[in-house]
Amino acid sequence: MTKSKIAAVSLNTTPLDFTGNFESIRSAILAKESLDSELILFPELSISGYGCEDAFYRPQVWEKSIQVLNQLKSISPNQVIVVGLPVFVDSFLYNCMAVLYQDKIQALVPKLNLANTGVHYERRWFHAPKEFQNKIISLGEEQIPFGNFVFTFPQWSFAIEICEDSWSSFKPSQWYNLLGADVILSPGASHFAMGKQTIRKQIFKETSRNQNNLQVFTNLCGNESGRIIFEGGAFFASLGNIMKEGPRLHFTPFAVTTHCFHPSEIRAAKARQFREPHPHLTPNEIPDIPLRTRSQAERKESSRFLVTDKREENKEHSTANTESLSVFEEFTKAVSLGLYDYMRKSKTKGYTLSLSGGADSATCALLVSAMVSMSKQENGEDIFPKLGISETQLLVTLYQKTKNNSPITEEIARTLSEELGCEYHSISIDEMVSQSVGIIESVKGTKLNWKEHDLALQNIQARVRSPLIWLLANLNGHLLLSTGNRSEAAVGYTTMDGDSSGSIAPLAGVSKEFLLDWLDDIQKGNNRFISPKHSVQMLRTTKPTAELKPLTEHQEDEKDLMPYPILNSIERKLVYLAMSEVDSLEELKTEFPWETKEQLFGYIQKFKKLFGISQWKRERLPPSFHLDEYGLDPKSSYRFPILSNET
């Protein structure tokens, strides 16, 4: 029985890098994994890059995308290549997939459902047709079918629904399936969130079972444009089962996952199980586009596309890696990949970090170290010399102590740096803090004291640290890591132009509670990417503290704010779930029965006040990664007024 083979490519693109994206696409087409595939599927907007933002308005972006498309169509003319790009038609810009075959653009297929929730704002740039399209447009001297089609080979047929189309309640594939499509291609730019791949697979498994077909999903991978991480993870779902899954969160430019299938098995399943739904929905007619039968010579040339021998089937090469990751390992690999791409694409030499001896800065250091290990494992030991980066100077840490710092935090910072093998320095900033305070005392004509000027005296320590760590980062040619987490962003527990300073805030997408649990998971030996550390063990025996008050006051973060699990729960209820205070309080009483109702109500009121007055701080924080089911980055996740009745 003759089998057919499809290749799904997950791709690391860069917005507006037409040359680089072309080379990655070309390399994937010519990769040995792809050579005997009848069809090669690439992700959404893979020619231009997904995250072009308002640069999508530039005509040269569409024009260069078409130029690249014309270069691609002749690379492997006897294979069908399906690749994404923006296309301007009549008065509208569309998010399209192009179908290339036999040196021609066979058709352009527009996206019908535009993603416009969470981190996606596609309706800002693209037009969504209200019904299926079928027309002819001009691209240069070519006349190209534009719209929604079923593409037919002699043995099987396919149709395309783009990313959000596959998540919609009314999927275009429902109609494609009625018209006989055996395979549904779903190219995506689906952002990473912990646990989201499980949801994806559930959706496509059920759709393939319900429609009795083969569903092919592929995705972008990596930190494409700064804030959003894509996770790759191409997979094939057939008749209710995941048949093959490709690598997730890979550090390589692309990964090819292939699958061989019997079209006759799909059609037999349809005959046995599929029945036309009632009532019958009749959209505009969706035409067929036959992919013409090749000549005898062409068939002989392309016979390598058909896998007919069991021995050959066993030789099928795939980079598939179905090894499951825990939620903490997903976080580890996603942030490490985000840091790798941010550094690589910004053409900087590494990261500088103000290491405090606390959980957040330690997490940043651990993740940079994990990034180094994973990128070398996947790209070769010489990857950093190739990038012009000295591995020994890739991470530089600085401990900036005052008289309010305890000896234990300095020991933690030093020990962690030694365990990671990174460059470490320790300096005292007491003199600079005293000079700054003295200058302002002379201006104000008063002596500052902890009773009346507590907050100002705390903040000046963090602000004095900022220019020094920035100077060191500049000298290193590095990006500066900001160490704040989402819990601190929610309540403004950060010093502006102090510990909030940085080029990127890799932890701002997750709560403090999650980070502490992540460190504990490492110490249990559960994280395959990071081994237990003596420094982390020391860290977890100390209470989280800013160390900005005199040591005699025993400052602790949870005393300043509230217990982190309660803060995290209140934040999720009020911000993400938009629950009322009354309903939130009732659930908090169940979650934290040891707290009094009055205490919990006080925490809610404190959170509301701090959240409202801290929006201006969130507007000024460095870019962060979207990692959880929601985020607080106002440019990608959660928009809130700087001024309102709640501020």
Distance in Å from the first CA to the final CA of the chain: 69
**Is 609 labelled as part of a ligand binding site?**
no
Q: List own/partner pairs for 589-597 with CB under 8 A and 24 or more apart.
A: 592/565, 592/566, 595/566
CA distances from 536 to 214, 354, 419, 472 (A): 47, 17, 10, 25
Pairing of strands 395-401, 351-354: parallel
C-alpha span between 336 and 351 (Å, rounded):
12
**Is 329 labelled as part of a ligand binding site?**
no
CA distances from 411 to 216, 353, 360, 399 (A): 52, 16, 16, 10
**Is 190 labelled as part of a ligand binding site?**
yes
**Is 488 labelled as part of a ligand binding site?**
yes
DSSP 280: P
Maximum distance among all Cα pairs of the chain, rounded to whole angstroms: 95
Tokens representing 128 are: 């969504």
Contacts of 447 (CB under 8 A, 6+ apart): 441
Contact 479, 343 (CB under 8 A): yes
Pairing of strands 183-188, 288-290: unpaired
**Residues with catalytic function:** 44, 111, 163
Question: Please, what is the angle between helix 512-523 and helix 564-571, to 10°?
Answer: 130
C-alpha span between 628 and 304 (Å, rounded):
44
**Is 376 labelled as part of a ligand binding site?**
no
C-alpha span between 514 and 565 (Å, rounded):
9
Phi, psi (deg, nearest 5) at residue 102: 55, 50
C-alpha span between 338 and 623 (Å, rounded):
12
Task: Give the number of other CB atoms < 10 A from CB of residue 559.
Answer: 12
Tokens representing 361 are: 């800065």
DSSP 541-604: TS------S-GGG---HHHHS--HHHHHHHHIIIIIS---HHHHHHHHHHH-TTS-HHHHHHHH
Contact 490, 515 (CB under 8 A): no
User: Scanning the structure block, which residue is given the tokens 């009346």?
Assistant: 452
C-alpha span between 211 and 171 (Å, rounded):
11
Tokens representing 609 are: 């006040």
C-alpha span between 315 and 311 (Å, rounded):
7
**Is 483 labelled as part of a ligand binding site?**
yes
User: Residues marked as binding?
Assistant: 190, 196, 459, 483, 488, 617
User: Residues marked as binding for L-glutamine?
Assistant: 190, 196
